[in-house]
Structure 1
């Protein structure tokens, strides 16, 4: 087969296998299609299919095919995250800046603290700390892996729960977006890349200045021209953020945050969101899994994965409950927000892959983090859905009684 035929065969696997498992297995409640796509990306990668059927894996997922898939995935996730940024109302962010900063800080700081505690336990045993890691790098890297929130997956889950555009969904989006920026900044510190820290400051200053010019330009353009200029802005922000070490997804989110939804029309935005989700995001979910290399590392890795999952979920819930007490949230809100914010998805896997490549963690630690990310994401809908129903019923009863 030529490269085009092999690429189309790979695309067939990407779209057919997860859909059949999701539809025939009726997994939607505990594992929505996006979660199945994430898991199948890992299964189709070198760690599972590559070990079980190495010849078939190397035949289908050639370097040229993987490069093509990565290009589609990169553009798809940039569009998706930009649209998530447009959904976020900046005026509300500024209006509730104190609440947002408090909640984001606690929802990042508590699981980071819990994760560092779990990493301290691992220091006592060989095989978990990477060969090039200083102790503080391992502690902070593992702790931050427990603090990550997967913004693209979070948006998908909130859309599925029908709360993305509701006040709670917008609040959660504010908290997660602040944490997302902080996470990539901390990663630069872990890598000891002080040049990139300077670049990050420069990028954020340049972004603030250019945003004012960009917004003035957009209000003067026709709606059809705005779409084209928005894509140029998206590429420029993604490039600048990645060059600065903040990751291209942070740039894509910032590009969307400073846009107004009424520039484009809500119906057109909704249609683009659905099309990107249908056509391009499956490639992102699976292509990231295809880059995942891991070894099982024995039964101990499952135990460590469970400890890290406990630290991640417990830390997020603790942070959300402390924020809820401080800010006077309604009963049940802290639990819902904490569970949604603990969603890991592929962002944590990307984060852990970087730590593995830099020698800060071992393949065993990476596997434990991978298991934690999958478990964390699969728990979200089954736990949040009934809690959300109870909270909505309480609101209806309260409205009726008043």
Structure 2
């Protein structure tokens, strides 16, 4: 049990993290960028990349070693809740995930960047090896890099769609639906990759272990979606249960996260599965057509989930920033950063545009879809942390990939402006609120 001095140090660290992320997030919003960009930069600034280089190492004083495990634990709780909200909103967009355009965009915007990322990882084995990657060239590393450059962040994409008044347009709808489908594929691919990345006693026993864990994961997903979900749908239809939706959702997410952790997976996968299994009002035509007073619990649940994220996610950004040291990068690492940005953008922009054109969208709408799908954010950061925790990648490449995620997300706004989609100040949200109209938007 922590003593009073440790409790005081943890609370002080939380205060610094929350204030700094709020400040940087507000600055990003003022520059018409997603607040998550400012929050990521806040975490980097508080770490060894900037604050830690000042005389006296203020980073070590603000975030002493004995405090970090507590911050990391709270940060993981926030990320699990965030992934629950991602899974929850995937259900909301599921009805849109049909039609020629969505299928074509999903296929091209996922397979093209994955192919380019895998090719770069396979061809550049020596290059990645020079950054300290002992697994460079291995199947696990190649697959991880393929997924890492192909992720699209659904929450931040939804924020941009709303901010640019693209919600309801064909390009905005196609981008959101395609991003949701790609998220499902990417996260299940990451689950398989991280399961295979752990230490094993031998080749055959390792294969059997991974196979067993995948079977158990599929069984868990089947139970949650096929058994628990219908029971929850019936339960949530009763108006008397509305006050209990939040605690039940939180307990559901925590329980699923504990189950995936027991399977050797990260807790975020449990949060994602729980969110996907939680019934969403958009899928229930009877509830969707009900009077607004009968649907009051819907925005309440969204707002409550977001409140937990907003309060705790700064701790995730700070613990991530403490693992980054931009000053430790060498010239070759920055060259690799340029190459990775080029590959990631070529894959998403080229694949997204090609898929939209094959799906029958005109050139302008296809370019808009492509620009939106190039968005990355907290979703990418979570995936990279999984790779780091699993030992698939190490600190220097982790730093390079985080910078890639920031740069490609920063590009989205200017690209949309160049296409004529200006930001709409009238649709700005109150600082600190990143969810509106039922859309996840902050990260």
SS in 2 for 1:147: coil
SS in 1 for 2:67: helix
Pair 1:205 & 2:224 matched: no
Residues 53/81 of structure 1: CA separation in 2 closer, same or farther (3 Å cut) = farther
User: In the TM superposition, what is the alpha-carbon distance from 1:157 to its structure 2 partner?
Assistant: 4.3
Q: Any residues of structure 2 matched to 1:164-313 within 5 Å, and which?
A: 167-168=173-174, 170-188=176-194, 191=197, 194=207, 195-218=209-232, 219-220=234-235, 222-245=241-264, 247-262=266-281, 265-292=297-324, 296-313=328-345
Q: Any residues of structure 2 matched to 1:308-387 within 5 Å, and which?
A: 308-356=340-388, 360-361=392-393, 363-385=395-417, 387=419
Residues 154/176 of structure 1: CA separation in 2 closer, same or farther (3 Å cut) = farther
Deviates more, 1:6-15 or 1:289-298: 289-298
User: In the TM superposition, what is the alpha-carbon distance from 1:86 to its structure 2 partner?
Assistant: 2.6
Residues 268/363 of structure 1: CA separation in 2 closer, same or farther (3 Å cut) = closer
User: In the TM superposition, what is the alpha-carbon distance from 1:36 to its structure 2 partner?
Assistant: 0.8
User: In the TM superposition, what is the alpha-carbon distance from 1:88 to its structure 2 partner?
Assistant: 3.2
SS in 1 for 2:356: helix
Residues in 2 aligned to 1:388 and 1:201: alpha-carbon distance in whole angstroms: 48
1:240-261 CA-partner distances (Å, limit 9, x unpaired)? 3344455433332232223333
Contact 2:135 2:141 in 1 (8 A): no
Residues 246/312 of structure 1: CA separation in 2 closer, same or farther (3 Å cut) = farther
Residues 58/26 of structure 1: CA separation in 2 closer, same or farther (3 Å cut) = closer
Contact 2:257 2:271 in 1 (8 A): yes
Contact 2:348 2:373 in 1 (8 A): yes
Normalised to the residue count of structure 1, the TM-score between the two structures is: 0.81
User: In the TM superposition, what is the alpha-carbon distance from 1:196 to its structure 2 partner?
Assistant: 3.5
Query: Please, what is the CA RMSD of the aligned residues?
Result: 3.5
Residues 234/22 of structure 1: CA separation in 2 closer, same or farther (3 Å cut) = closer
Contact 1:154 1:343 in 2 (8 A): yes
SS in 2 for 1:83: helix
Residues in 1 aligned to 2:93 and 2:380: alpha-carbon distance in whole angstroms: 29
Pair 1:12 & 2:15 matched: yes
Residues 91/16 of structure 1: CA separation in 2 closer, same or farther (3 Å cut) = closer
- 5+ unaligned residues in a row in structure 2: which ranges? 199-205, 282-286, 288-294, 425-443
1:137-177 CA-partner distances (Å, limit 9, x unpaired)? 44333333212334454455445546578734641442342
Deviates more, 1:330-339 or 1:150-159: 150-159
User: In the TM superposition, what is the alpha-carbon distance from 1:87 to its structure 2 partner?
Assistant: 2.8
SS in 1 for 2:328: coil
Residues 277/158 of structure 1: CA separation in 2 closer, same or farther (3 Å cut) = farther
Contact 2:256 2:273 in 1 (8 A): yes
Residues 294/182 of structure 1: CA separation in 2 closer, same or farther (3 Å cut) = farther
Residues in 2 aligned to 1:314 and 1:289: alpha-carbon distance in whole angstroms: 27
Contact 1:356 1:366 in 2 (8 A): yes
Residues in 2 aligned to 1:105 and 1:143: alpha-carbon distance in whole angstroms: 14
Aligned to 1:398: none
Q: 1:118 aligns with which of 111, 117, 120?
A: 120
Residues in 1 aligned to 2:416 and 2:109: alpha-carbon distance in whole angstroms: 17
